[in-house]
Amino acid sequence: MSVDVTNFETDVLVPSRDTPVLVDFWAPWCGPCKMLAPILEKLESEADGRWILAKVNTEEQQQLAMRFGISSIPDVRLFHGEKEIDGFMGQLSEADIRRWLDQSLPSPCADALREAREALDNGDAETATAKSEDVLKEEPDNNEARVLLAEAQLRVDAAAALKTLEPILPGHPHSDRADTLRQFATLAAPDETALPDGDLKALYLQGANAVAQADYAAALEAYIGVLEKDRQYANGAAKDAAKTIMQYLGFRHPITEQYQRAYTSAVNV
C-alpha cells in the first residue's frame, strides 16, 4: 500500500489505532530499499493481519519525509495508537527484522496484560491469574504474562510461582523482575523448621505472609520488629528480608523512607 501526504492520516494513523502499521520510507534509486522491500512484503503476508505495511516514496513525498525527519533510506517506522513507537534504518537481514518485529510489535494480548496488572494492583489475584493464563495459552513465551502470573501465584503458593518463573533465564525480557519475585517467593515461604520457636517466629512469619500479599509496609514492620528483639534471629534472616524489600522498592520510595530509620537503628543496636 502506497501512501502520500493526502492519505497518511486515513491510511496509516487511523488504522494504527487497532493494528500496527509499518511504514517503509524508500526511493526508486535506493538499492538497499529494493532489497528490503520483498522481505517486508513477505513478512506482512506471513503476519496474517497482525500488522500492515505502507510505503512512502520519499522522492515524491518530500513533505512526509521532512515531517518524520527522514535523512537516510531505507528508514522504517512503526506506528501504533496514532504514534510512532519504534523504527530502524538501513538494510537488515530477514532474521534481524523478524527479531525486531517480535520485540517491537505490541502484543495482541495487550488488553489482557493490562487487566492482569490492574487486578494485581487491586489485590485481585484470582482475576490476575486467569488473565495471565489466557495470555500464556496464546503466547507461551510471553515473559510479561509469566511474571504477572507468578506475582499472582505468590500470594497463595510460592512454590507454584517459582515453577512459573523457571523458563525465564538471565538476560531474557523481564528477567530482572523474575529474579526479584524469586527472592520474594523465598521470603514468602521460609523453611519454618529453620526458624527458632517462640514469639519471634510468629512475627517473622507475619512478615513472610505480608510479602506474599505484596504488603511491603506490613512486612517491614514485622521484620524490623524481629530485629529490635534479636537482630541475629535465624542467622540474620529478618535483616536480609527487610534489606531485600527496601532495595526492591528503592531508597526514595515512601515505604522505604518510612522504615529506613527504624531498620538502621535495629541493625545497629
Three-state SS at 231: coil
Q: Is the separation of the CB atoms in 87 and 78 below 8 Å?
A: yes
Concerning whether 109 is annotated as a catalytic residue, the answer is no
**No. of helices (H) and no. of strands (E), the chain:** 13, 4
Q: Which of 82, 75, 62, 61 is nearest to 30 (CA)?
A: 75
Concerning whether 33 is annotated as a catalytic residue, the answer is yes
**DSSP state, residue 66:** H
Catalytic residue among 21, 22, 23, 30: 30
Angle at 145 between CA 140 and CA 147, to 5 degrees: 115
Catalytic residue among 12, 21, 22, 33: 33
Q: How far is CA 182 from CA 8, 28, 76, 240, in A?
A: 47, 54, 39, 14
| Spatial CB neighbours of 181, under 8 Å, sequence gap ≥ 6 | 147, 150, 151, 154, 161, 165
How far apart are the C-alpha atoms of 131 and 115, rounded to whole Å?
7
Q: Is the separation of the CB atoms in 61 and 5 below 8 Å?
A: yes
Active-site residue numbers?
30, 33
